[in-house]
């Protein structure tokens, strides 16, 4: 499937105390880890974020649609910038998601007839590891402009949402605090 990939790197990192996208894990920034995975899965890769330092990573940087509105603003910005029907979004702070998960989501979106296909573990969906159809953009933009910023609620309003089940919850673990970051171990097995 031909899809564009977007690394969501625009978070405020308020619990971390500094921009976590630029923090290193296993000798590489979270941005580098995320971009490496997206490049394997997608023909075109961009980032969504407002930090001027993001341009040094050599991919187009799309500014958040509405700064300070969380991931929904980043998804809307990515969809607005995209020329593709399908778009893979990955949050910068989930570095343990294997490339195979991204590929499986892309394959699933071809057959589902949904506006969104999300990774799910233990009944919990992960809206920042998912495939979004460009067709969802008008409703997502409307939800954003109305101040309804929860991604899960916005995508349900946009149409049919499907999930792809995975057993490994640790693949989708967010690194939000200095303690979580200090405890994280990154191995080469997570690069693939």
Q: What was the pLDDT predicted at 100?
A: 95
Residue 138 CA to residue 153 CA, distance in Å, equals 14
Q: Which pLDDT score is estimated for 188?
A: 46
Q: Give tens-digit pLDDT for 24-54.
A: 998 999 999 999 999 999 999 999 999 999 9
pLDDT at position 65 is: 66
What is the layout of strands, in order, in the sheet containing 61-62?
61-62, 44-48, 3-8, 86-91, 124-133, 116-121, 161-165
pLDDT value, residue 177 = 85
- pLDDT value of position 20: 87
Give the whole-angstrom CA distance, residue 14 versus residue 88: 25
**Residues in the chain where the model's pLDDT stays below 50:** 188-189, 192
pLDDT, tens digit, 9 for 90 and up, residues 60-77: 999 986 777 889 999 999
pTM, two decimal places: 0.92
How is domain 3-187 classified at the architecture level of CATH? Answer: Alpha-Beta Complex (3.90)
Which residue's structure tokens are 């040094």?
Answer: 56
Match 């330092």 to its residue by tokens: 53
pLDDT of residue 67: 75
pLDDT at residue number 189? 46
pLDDT of residue 10: 81
């Amino acid at each position: 499937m031909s899809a564009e990939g977007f690394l969501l790197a625009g978070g405020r990192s308020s619990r971390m105390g500094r921009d976590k996208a630029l923090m290193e894990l296993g000798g590489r920034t979270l941005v580098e880890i995320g971009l490496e995975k997206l490049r394997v899965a997608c023909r075109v890769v961009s980032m969504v974020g407002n930090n001027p330092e993001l341009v040094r990573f050599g991919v187009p940087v799309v500014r958040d649609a509405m700064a300070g509105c969380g991931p929904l603003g980043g998804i809307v910005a990515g969809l607005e910038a995209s020329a593709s029907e399908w778009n893979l979004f990955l949050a910068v702070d989930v570095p343990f998601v294997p490339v195979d998960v991204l590929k499986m989501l892309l394959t699933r979106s071809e057959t589902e007839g949904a506006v969104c296909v999300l990774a799910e573990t233990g009944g919990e969906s992960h809206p920042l590891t998912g495939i979004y159809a460009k067709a969802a953009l008008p409703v997502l933009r409307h939800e954003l402009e109305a101040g309804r910023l929860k991604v899960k609620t916005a995508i349900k309003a946009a149409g049919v949402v499907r999930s792809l089940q995975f057993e490994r919850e640790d693949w989708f673990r967010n690194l939000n605090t200095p303690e979580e970051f200090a405890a994280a171990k990154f191995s080469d097995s997570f690069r693939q």
